[in-house]
């Protein structure tokens, strides 16, 4: 017998996805045609041409995405997801009227573990349907949030709230810290849920609490997720009360470093942008919330050019009113051009990176998720581009950013597990979740709403 060349035995893996286009985000602007993503034990093993993958791997499950772009799942870097239950309760109002006369009185009535659980579940349904696989959460009852995210296999950075007023979650500053540390301990090392400190804002947190946060964040290696310079009023108040702008105050307190996730930043100056770049601060831009609340225009293109890590967030549904990262990245790309007065600003590929990889980096998860890269966890979203709205097609990334919509997301995986299949949620009691949302609506509106059908 003569020796013959033998094909090596195909390697068994959990999952092989072959897509018309793979958009790995890293490197930026790359679009791989007819490529496959090999996944095993929740990990991206390899990204390779589909034809090569077919010979090399023996997957237990194979998914073909013939008209689709496969992307890293979106990272929504700033949410208050339980507030989804207040979606559209009050709109078109000045910020303080909205908060004082609508949001806060309602929250005082209803906020608790049930409200948080039911809100987060509804938010997860919406996020999955829109291709979002990770969020940075910022609300009361982080213990409940963490439990719900874990139960649904959804990746989250859960903020541990610190604020100087009592709430249903904690009464005193000490209690806020005690409960924060409890939640942190419980989820230490969890595969999907991690925690950050979430002091609400410079104007609702005292220096003493910030100092304690700095010490603990350093010891525990946690990000600090904070609303910062959202409005001009905040800057004026800080100057009057503390003699300095909010960022300077945080600098004095030792918080301006690469742990800081600074959300909004509509009032940031050029020199403050330079400070953030040097210190490794991440900025989360929430363009739709900033517009809707008339908070000001974040100079997103300047921040990008300075090399600051710029991520995107929807903010809560009470001020957006959705969790649509497709909408948010499109608004970010459009608005940045208008604000910069430059049509070439904040190009499509950057918008996609801001909504994925930069979000992951802001959350301290840049090594684990945010791009389709061997060695990262398999958090993926497939977008079907075979639709009237995305034809003709010249440029996949342009189409994703400027023409596609959340409803074209067909399939989603988190940590290698399928969460959305052909547009349908997997293992999710959607009817039950919607029914609970409806009950909250009746309770909050204080009226019986006749059933929708």
Residues 368-397 that bind a copy of itself (CB under 8 A): 385-386, 388-389, 391-395
Compute the distance between CA of residue 406 and CA of residue 327 in angstroms, rounded to an integer: 8
Q: What is the DSSP letter of 203?
A: G
Applying CB under 8 A, the span of 42-50, 245-253, 287-295, 367-375 interacting with a copy of itself comes to 287-295
Closest distance of CB 51 from a copy of itself, Å: 13
Applying CB under 8 A, the span of 23-31, 193-201, 213-221, 293-301 interacting with a copy of itself comes to 293-301
Q: Is the Cβ of residue 242 or residue 441 nearer to a copy of itself in the bound state?
A: 441
Q: Residue 20, interface with a copy of itself (CB under 8 A)?
A: yes
Select from 79, 100, 110 the least CA-distant residue to 322: 79
Select from 136, 194, 200 the least CA-distant residue to 162: 200
Q: Is the Cβ of residue 241 or residue 424 nearer to a copy of itself in the bound state?
A: 424
Q: Is the Cβ of residue 238 or residue 331 nearer to a copy of itself in the bound state?
A: 331
Can you list the pairs that 324-327 forms with residues at least 24 positions away whose Cβ atoms lie under 8 Å?
324/130, 324/406, 325/74, 325/76, 325/130, 325/131, 325/132, 325/355, 325/406, 326/130, 326/131, 326/400, 326/404, 326/405, 326/406, 326/409, 327/288, 327/405, 327/406
Query: Taking CB under 8 A as the rule, which mask of x and - marks residues 307-346 in contact with a copy of itself?
Result: ----------x--xxx-x--x---x--xx-xx-xxxxxxx
Q: How far is CA 282 from CA 95, 96, 98, 256, 329, in A?
A: 25, 27, 28, 10, 17
Biggest CA–CA distance in the chain, Å, is 91
Closest distance of CB 119 from a copy of itself, Å: 10
Q: Is the Cβ of residue 125 or residue 198 nearer to a copy of itself in the bound state?
A: 125
Closest distance of CB 442 from a copy of itself, Å: 9
Q: Which two tokens stand for residue 362?
A: 């802001």
Q: Is the Cβ of residue 266 or residue 356 nearer to a copy of itself in the bound state?
A: 266
Query: Taking CB under 8 A as the rule, which mask of x and - marks residues 51-80 in contact with a copy of itself?
Result: ---------------xx-------------
Q: Residue 402, interface with a copy of itself (CB under 8 A)?
A: yes
Closest distance of CB 381 from a copy of itself, Å: 16
**In this structure, are residues 282 and 261 in contact, taking their beta carbons and an 8 Å threshold?**
yes
Compute the distance between CA of residue 451 and CA of residue 453 in angstroms, rounded to an integer: 6
Q: Residue 49, interface with a copy of itself (CB under 8 A)?
A: no
């Amino acid at each position: 017998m003569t020796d013959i060349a033998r094909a090596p035995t195909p390697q068994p893996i959990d999952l092989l996805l072959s897509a018309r286009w793979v958009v790995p985000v890293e490197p930026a602007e790359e679009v791989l045609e007819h490529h496959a993503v090999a996944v095993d034990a929740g990990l991206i093993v390899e990204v390779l041409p589909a034809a090569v993958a077919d010979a090399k791997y023996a997957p237990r499950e194979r998914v073909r995405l013939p008209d689709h772009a496969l992307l890293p799942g979106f990272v929504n870097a700033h949410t208050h997801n339980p507030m989804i239950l207040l979606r559209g309760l009050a709109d078109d109002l000045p910020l303080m009227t909205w908060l004082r006369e609508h949001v806060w009185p309602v929250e005082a009535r209803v906020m608790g573990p049930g409200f948080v659980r039911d809100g987060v579940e509804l938010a997860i349904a919406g996020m999955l349907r829109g291709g979002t696989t990770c969020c940075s959460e910022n609300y009361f009852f982080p213990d409940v949030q963490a439990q719900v995210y874990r139960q649904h296999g959804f990746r989250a950075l859960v903020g541990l709230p610190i604020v100087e007023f009592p709430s249903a979650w904690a009464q005193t500053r000490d209690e806020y810290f005690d409960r924060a540390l409890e939640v942190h301990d419980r989820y230490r090392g969890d595969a999907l849920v991690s925690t950050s400190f979430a002091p609400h804002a410079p104007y609702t947190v005292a220096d003493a609490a910030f100092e304690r946060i700095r010490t603990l964040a350093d010891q525990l290696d946690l990000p600090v997720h904070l609303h910062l310079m959202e409005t001009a009023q905040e800057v004026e108040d800080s100057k009057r009360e503390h003699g300095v702008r909010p960022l300077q105050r945080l600098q004095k307190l030792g918080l301006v470093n690469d742990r800081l996730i600074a959300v909004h930043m509509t009032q940031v100056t050029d020199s403050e942008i330079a400070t953030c770049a040097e210190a490794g601060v991440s900025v989360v831009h929430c363009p739709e919330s900033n517009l809707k609340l008339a908070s000001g225009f974040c100079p997103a293109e300047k921040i990008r050019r300075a090399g600051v890590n710029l991520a995107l967030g929807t903010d809560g549904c009470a001020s957006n009113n959705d969790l649509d990262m497709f909408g948010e990245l499109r608004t970010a790309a459009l608005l940045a051009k208008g604000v910069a007065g430059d049509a070439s600003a904040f190009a499509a590929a950057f918008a996609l990176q801001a909504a994925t990889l930069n979000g992951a980096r802001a959350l301290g998860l840049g090594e684990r998720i945010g791009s389709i890269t061997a060695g990262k966890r398999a958090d993926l979203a497939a977008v079907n581009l075979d639709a009237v709205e995305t034809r003709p097609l010249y440029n996949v990334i342009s189409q994703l950013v400027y023409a596609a919509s959340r409803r074209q997301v067909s399939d989603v995986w988190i940590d290698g597990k399928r969460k959305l299949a052909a547009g349908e949620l997997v293992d999710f009691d959607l009817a039950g979740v919607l029914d609970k949302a409806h009950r909250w609506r009746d309770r909050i509106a204080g009226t019986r709403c006749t059933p929708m059908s």
